[in-house]
Amino acid sequence: MGDTRPAVRDSAQHTGTDRRRAVAVALMLAMGLAALDSTIVSTAVPQIVADLGGFSVFSWLFSGYLLAVTVTLPVYGKLSDTFGRKPVLIVGAALFLLGSLLCALAWNMGSLIAFRIVQGLGGGALQGTVQTLAADLYPLEERPKIQSKLSTVWAMSAVAGPGVGGVLAAYADWRWIFLINLPLGAAALWLLARHLHEPRRESTSRPRIDWAGALTVFACGGALLTALVQGGVAWDWLSWPSITLLGTGVALIAALVLIERRAAEPIVPGWVWRRRTIAAVNLALGALGLLMVAPTVFLATYAQSVLGLAPVAAGFVVSIWTLSWPVSAAFSQHVYRRIGFRDTALLGMAAAAALLFAFPLLPYPGEAWQPTLLMLLLGAALGLFQLPLIVGVQSTVEWEERGTATASILFCRQTGQTLGAAVFGAVANGVLASRLGGAGDLDAVTHSLDSGTAAEPVRRAVADAVHAVYLGAAAAAAVAFVVLLVVAPRRFPVLKD
């Protein structure tokens, strides 16, 4: 009778590979849901407002979701390190789908905003835990492949979101932009429940949840991010709502430091900032979030108002960088294996800084291919920057710290984007005011351009405002470069898988 052990081993390996592929598909579905939901609502706003009313507060459909995602990232990161990735991801996905169903059933704008926040509470688990699980499932040499796939899914979903939302709102009903999440999310949940099997990890003590820290993170993040999102929009920066929210946020930061120092299992542990590698990457990705605001928020205005492009063509100019970003991210593994994580990221950010600085040097009004080419190259530069840092940080920590570390860098990137929207919005409006000799507002000026009532000096003013934003983004890129060069070690202290 022959020995059957090799056949049994081969069968087990095949089964393990199939399970990992199934889980990878589930992760891509979950990532696609999070990316799609961040953009799909935008083109359906007119139909939503016409049906539910509430035009004065509709911006909270986006702000509420963003706030909920951002403030929950550190909490989900710690919970996934304590209880495992599977329960956190399943609970988060279920909460996201519940919020989607409730959004489809909303009866007024207030209820829709509240249910969007419920969606965001689940979306924080999707974003952070998916990235962490990708590092758990794949060894260091294979992580760029899964990360580039996730980046591709994110890019495709984010680009497709406005188009899908517009089609559903125009030819079906705006409620379908939320109902479409249910079958996709159900498929992801089924794959996770069936195929994701985490190893049992013995614990000598009962896990203790830092509820005080979690609530303080919620309150602190909510106060500061609300001040940044609504300052200069819903109220003036020097008005009492802004001052109250900012003051409350600063006070809660101090309280959070005291609480976390005393907590047995802190939600935001001190080692996240004491370790040079993670602290440097946190700051660098915060700067990345800051500079990403220039192309994602202001380039569409430039393309339509200055170049005179139609909305579809302007959307192509903005989205072109999502094609080169994942390709460059996949290629980055060949670079960082030769020169290291930090130096690869420095190479990418140096190129990004040069490209952002080149934007204001474009001729006026210029041709559409010029900013399109810059955006294509910028996506390639940032793909070379971000992925090595994420993979590098995940490779320097043990399993029980990976969720917290991943959530920390994603939280800093999200916070940087929120800060960038506030700061660069103020910069753009300030340039407009100085060029036009009075109070300036980018939205109002671009509306006058769209209606054909504005003169050539207004177009010049819009170009100058966007150029100023790009110079600010170039400065943020320079800050990221210097932080990595000075703070991060040249060789990341990578642990064995």
Exposed (0-12), middle (13-18) or buried (19+): which is 169, by Cβ within 10 Å? buried
- CA 193 from centroid of its chain's CA atoms: 26
On the 0-12 / 13-18 / 19+ scale of CB atoms within 10 A, 77 is buried
Q: What's the mean pLDDT when you consider all of the chain?
A: 83
If we measure between CA atoms, which residue out of 414, 456, 413, 412 comes closest to residue 436? 456
Which residues of the chain are modeled with pLDDT < 50?
Answer: 1-14, 453
Angstrom CA distances, 341 to 57, 262, 335, 488, 493, stand at 44, 34, 8, 10, 10
219 burial (CB, 10 Å; 0-12 / 13-18 / 19+) is middle
Query: By C-alpha distance, which of 104, 131, 124 is closest to 40?
Result: 104
Cα of 462 vs its chain's centroid, Å: 27
121's CB contacts (< 8 A; 6+ apart) are: 68, 72, 92, 95, 99
Report the SS3 class of residue 269: coil
No. of H helices and E strands in the chain? Answer: 20, 0
Rounded CA-CA distance 64/120 in Å is 8
Torsion sign, CA atoms 346, 348, 351, 357: negative
Q: Is the peptide bond preceding residue 241 cis, with omega within 30 degrees of 0? A: no
pTM above 0.75, yes or no: yes
Q: What number of other Cβ atoms are within 10 A of residue 199's Cβ?
A: 7
Distances (CA, A) of 165 to 114, 311, 321, 488: 20, 15, 21, 42
Q: What residues pair up with 231 in beta bridges, in sequence order? A: 235
What per-residue confidence (pLDDT) applies to 137? 84
pLDDT of 10: 46
Q: Per the structure block, which two tokens stand in for 454? A: 């504005």
Residues 59-104 have pLDDT tens digits of: 778 778 888 888 888 888 888 888 888 899 999 999 999 999 999 9
DSSP 365: S
Residue whose structure tokens are 């009962």: 206
pLDDT digits 0-9 by tens, 123-181: 888 888 888 888 888 888 778 778 778 877 877 777 777 777 777 777 788 888 889 88
Q: Which residues pair with 235 in a beta bridge?
A: 231
Cα distance between residue 335 and residue 337, in whole Å: 5
Establish whether the linkage from the previous residue to 74 is cis, with ω within 30° of 0. no
Place of tokens 């990705």: 285
**R_g of the chain computed on alpha carbons:** 23
Show the tokens assigned to 245: 């929210």
Residues in Cβ contact with 421 at an 8 Å cutoff, skipping those fewer than 6 apart: 228, 229, 293, 297
